Amino acid sequence: MSGIVVAAPKPIYQEENWTRALITIDNLPEHYQHLEVGHHSKIRNMLGFAIKSFKTSDHILISASGPSVNKAITCGEIFKRQFPQIKQVTGIGYRNVRMITEEMINGEISKTITTRRLPSIHILLSKNHLHPNLPAYNNHVRYQGADKVSDHVTRPVSRKTFNKSEYRGTKENQLMSL
């Protein structure tokens, strides 16, 4: 045996491009900014682009598929915190991805094509009122009282700044309460 090891080449991925037909949101507006989230995209960069483009456009569409779906949802939630009066419509679907691998068997190169269906999500965020009868329509409303710090028990931040007399009250205050 010669001991020659031939490394398997990396597979080639071919994804479908996003078109209006693949976006699973009914009554999609004519003009919108499209933000495609990838698994290497940084949330800070995507949000910077989205906020700048949202100042000139009334609609922004966030799309992702496969492992980047969670990142798209995170972008949408952070974006909704920046603009509290925003309206949202969400569409869920699938995106076809072809994986082409080349293998060498008995000195011949053979191609194997595998098609996978990856889950995808589309989040349409709009300044304008959207039709409330659309499926997955969400009129973002902030809950009153949930953001108040006084509703929660305040605890010391760290042990270094912890002062028992401030937290439990001084001995004089404890004696006066008896």
According to the model, what pLDDT value does residue 163 have?
Answer: 53
Residue 86 belongs to some domain of the structure: yes
Q: Exposed (0-12), middle (13-18) or buried (19+): which is 129, by Cβ within 10 Å?
A: exposed
pLDDT value of position 110: 83
pLDDT computed for residue 62 by the predictor: 94
| Structure confidence at residue 86 (pLDDT) | 87
C-alpha to C-alpha distances, 81 to 28, 38, 86, 87, 135, nearest whole angstrom: 23, 22, 9, 12, 22
pLDDT at 143: 45
Instruction: Look at residue 70 in the predicted model and tell me its pLDDT.
Output: 94
Q: Is there a domain that residue 98 lies in?
A: yes
178 within a domain of the structure (yes/no): no
Domain assignment present for residue 3? The answer is no
pLDDT for residue 146: 45
How far is the C-alpha of 6 from the C-alpha of 3, rounded, in Å? 10
Record the pTM.
0.66
Distance CA 35, CA 31 (A): 13
Q: How many structural domains compose the chain?
A: 1
Structural domain includes residue 123? yes
The answer to whether residue 162 sits within a structural domain is no
* Residue 177 is assigned to a structural domain of this protein: no
Range of the domain at 33: 12-141
Residue-level pLDDT, tens digit, the chain, 178 residues: 455 555 567 777 777 777 777 787 877 888 889 999 988 889 999 999 888 988 888 999 999 999 999 999 999 999 888 888 888 888 899 888 888 888 877 878 888 888 988 899 999 998 887 766 666 666 655 544 444 444 444 444 555 554 555 555 555 655 555 5
CA 26 – CA 148 distance, rounded (Å): 37
pLDDT confidence of residue 176:
58
CATH number of the domain where residue 73 is located: 3.30.110.20
